[in-house]
Amino acid sequence: MKINSNFDAGNIHVIEAENPGNIRLRIRHDHNSDFYQWFNFRLTGAKGQLCAMTIENAAGAAYADGWKDYQACASYDREEWFRVSTVYHDGEITIQHIPESDSVYYAYFAPYSMERHHSLVSQAAEHEKVSLHVIGETLDGQDMDLLTIGDMAVGKKVIWVIARQHPGESMAEWFVEGFLDRLLDDEDALSRSLLERAVFYVVPNMNPDGSRRGHLRTNAAGANLNREWENPSVENCPEVFYVRGKMDEVGMDLVLDAHGDEALPYNFIACFDGIPDVDSAKLDLAYDYQRQLMQFNPDFQMEYGYPKDAPGAANMTIGTNQMAHRYQAVAMTLEMPFKDTANCPDPEQGWSPERCRKLGYSNLDALAAIIDRL
Ligand SMILES: [Zn+2]
């Protein structure tokens, strides 16, 4: 029996893995940072045995509330992910499972590897309406990929979608996969009509280094990208530096910034209520977008979410606030759960890659409903 995480997006430190009934593990923290919560490892040679895998340092994770009612994700083929019994007790989580195969993977959420990212980007780039621009390199020397869909023309709206500023929030890239699938479907009339009215700039992965290193929240230098939007430096945070530079160049009418939330079992959107120069018409439009999204996809709701910032109290280092202010844009942070949606749960899979993808489809419906008012 063996546990290993030395692969793309892997993360675990093995304390003890001699006895299947008492496997002891710890999650590695992000490089140069105290954050940790993402785990992703393979267990081999334990077919048919009851395995109890305890993560000893769960209580010190970034969002300990995230372990309450949480069920870990598991997969044999790395395509289909299901939930397994997980208990949070005395500051530790214990995953209990009898693997049906000699190779089984366990992760905080269905991983979206950098290998899959490369497949996503190269497949999208084959479409005639898509161009791929590498707008810079990360600190580990990976490419920052930007997909442009459609041609810029007078009167067209500029729509941005960015995802995975926080690399452990892999649901964000599953969401982008669904969004792109539908947008690039030539037989989808709604997508065709949107592309007549808008050009799309999509960054499927804002944080390739954190993703490949198996980080929860930061890049290779330990920077939390979503606190770098006011004044990003190329030395510490080239990811935001290059993307914001491109945004300055092409402008923005609307942006979706896709994330995952560890604690709340809901899909929700956070807006820019607290920015100093808030445009109330734009803010109304952001809320109308959400009402539309809720109609198109009941996995989305507006009752539960983050408390709104008081007027003028927004943290301007956060992407959504900075982009709303800088471009007078409708800027929205879309949060998806790690656990499941409490209002329409799926006990087998929980919140899952396929549901992320479907939410990506539905965002195009919501966008179509409001785009002419941008
Ligand atoms: Zn996030």
Does 77 share its domain with 172? no
pLDDT at 181: 98
Give 164-190 pLDDT, tens digit per residue: 999 999 999 999 999 999 999 999 999
Does 35 share its domain with 176? no
CATH code for the domain in which residue 296 is found: 3.40.630.10
Q: Catalytic site residue 303? A: no
Report whether pLDDT(143) > 90.
yes
The conformational region for residue 45 under phi > 0 = left, psi -120 to 50 = alpha, else beta, is left
Share of the chain above pLDDT 70, in %: 100
Does 93 share its domain with 173? no
Does 77 share its domain with 225? no
Centroid of ligand 1 to alpha carbon of 109 (angstroms): 14
Where does the pLDDT of residue 71 fall: very low under 50, low under 70, confident under 90, or very high at 90 and above? very high
Does 80 share its domain with 168? no
Centroid of ligand 1 to alpha carbon of 99 (angstroms): 31
- With a CB cutoff of 8 Å and minimum separation 6, the contacts of 205 are 112, 114, 117, 145, 163, 164, 167, 173, 211
CATH code for the domain in which residue 56 is found: 2.60.40.3120
Task: Write out the residue range of the structural domain in which residue 147 sits.
Answer: 114-373
Where does the pLDDT of residue 152 fall: very low under 50, low under 70, confident under 90, or very high at 90 and above? confident
Centroid of ligand 1 to alpha carbon of 190 (angstroms): 29
Centroid of ligand 1 to alpha carbon of 170 (angstroms): 10
Does 58 share its domain with 121? no
Distance from C-alpha of 320 to C-alpha of 226, rounded to nearest angstrom:
9
The structural domain count of the chain equals 2
> Which of 91, 107, 123 marks a domain boundary?
107
Q: Across residues 29-47, what is the average pLDDT?
A: 98
| Residues β-bridged to residue 104 | 43
Centroid of ligand 1 to alpha carbon of 136 (angstroms): 22
As a whole number of Å, the CA-based R_g of the chain is: 20
pLDDT at 7: 98
Does 96 share its domain with 188? no
> Which of 80, 107, 134 marks a domain boundary?
107
pLDDT at 73: 98
Q: Which two tokens stand for residue 213?
A: 């290193």
Strands (E), 45-174: 51-55, 72-75, 82-84, 86-89, 92-97, 103-107, 130-137, 143-149, 157-163
Distance from C-alpha of 53 to C-alpha of 266, rounded to nearest angstrom:
27
Centroid of ligand 1 to alpha carbon of 208 (angstroms): 14
Q: State pTM to two decimals.
A: 0.98
Does 99 share its domain with 154? no
Where does the pLDDT of residue 334 fall: very low under 50, low under 70, confident under 90, or very high at 90 and above? very high
Q: Which CA distances in Å does 19 have to 3, 48, 301? A: 12, 14, 44
Centroid of ligand 1 to alpha carbon of 261 (angstroms): 6
Where does the pLDDT of residue 14 fall: very low under 50, low under 70, confident under 90, or very high at 90 and above? very high
Where does the pLDDT of residue 202 fall: very low under 50, low under 70, confident under 90, or very high at 90 and above? very high
pLDDT at 81: 98
Where does the pLDDT of residue 58 fall: very low under 50, low under 70, confident under 90, or very high at 90 and above? very high
What does pLDDT average to over the chain?
A: 98
Q: Any idea what the Cα angle at residue 45 is, between residues 42 and 48, rounded to 5°? A: 105
pLDDT at 133: 98
The residue from 177, 249, 335, 348 that is catalytic is 335
pLDDT at 293: 98
Does 250 share its domain with 328? yes
> Which of 52, 72, 107 marks a domain boundary?
107
Does 209 share its domain with 304? yes
Does 135 share its domain with 224? yes
Does 237 share its domain with 203? yes
